[in-house]
Amino acid sequence: MKFISADNSNIPVVCVVVEGGTNTIRMVLEHVTDNPPVPVVVCDGSGRAADLISFTHRYAKEDGYVHYYSLMRMKYRYTMKII
């Protein structure tokens, strides 16, 4: 865990993702590959980049691919939200 020093005390750092855009995805990658890595909390359902990161984390397999069934399930979920 990463800490910020302030007045001789250490403050833990965490990244919270709510919505966001392309820069948010870059920032998350930077944080999780940092040394030491910064923990990232992603708020699923908040929209845009947060939903994309959440979906990828949930449905990507060990090989890094998202399978077709997962994509169709996600499309159906958002279609139902709109109606």
How many CA atoms are closer than 13 Å to the CA of 75, on its beta-carbon side?
A: 6
Position 83 scores a pLDDT of 40
Cβ-proximal residues to 59 (8 Å cutoff; 6+ apart), any chain: 66, 67, 70, 74
Position 80 scores a pLDDT of 45
Q: In a structure prediction context, what are the per-residue pLDDT tens digits for the chain, which is 83 residues long?
A: 666 666 666 778 899 999 999 999 999 999 999 888 899 999 999 988 999 899 888 877 777 777 766 666 666 555 444 44
Position 56 scores a pLDDT of 85
Position 5 scores a pLDDT of 64
Position 2 scores a pLDDT of 67
